[in-house]
Amino acid sequence: MSTPKQKSLFLAVIFTSLRYLSVYSFEYQIGGNENWVVPPAIDTRIYVDWALGNRFQVGDTFSFNFLGDSVMKVRVEDCKKCHSRHPNFFSNTVYHLNYPASSYFISGVSGHCEKGQRMIIIKVISTDQETNSSLQLFLLQEC
């Protein structure tokens, strides 16, 4: 028969394990079935709006798939101006969100970024409405 101390220890181990099991990550396919492409002229904010509709966390993975295009992780200044001077990677790419900071992506094909093929990934900590509204304004001003 177990003692009260053993039962308490067992329950503590179970609850601690459940807490760590509840932490999960997702793999996102950028552009869904359409892949990473120039958005339609009537929906140039498709990638920004998609990012606003999701909540990202450290550990999430983002898959950019494309034909005849490229993706570049750039600085905020380069995203704003659609400059690809300092790219971090090219080709079909998987990006791992390893830290809670903004990440900026643009197409490396001339003219595609200007047509809306760019996006921002931000790790969101809070899901309350006030934070979400502030985040939307932040995103619109940033890139």
Residue-wise DSSP of 49-111: HHHHTS-B-TT-EEEE--SS--EEEE-HHHHHHT--SS-S--SSEEEE--SSS-EEEEESSTT
C-alpha 72/C-alpha 29 separation (Å) is 16
Superfamily of domain 25-142: Cupredoxins -  blue copper proteins (2.60.40.420)
Tens digits of per-residue pLDDT, 81-134? 998 776 666 668 899 888 888 889 999 888 999 999 999 887 655 444 444 555
Rg of the Cα atoms in the chain: 20
Contacts of 1 (CB under 8 A, 6+ apart): none
Domain residue ranges of the chain, discontinuous segments joined by +: 25-142
SS3 state at 131: helix
Tens digits of per-residue pLDDT, 22-68? 457 889 999 888 889 999 999 888 898 888 888 888 889 999 998 88
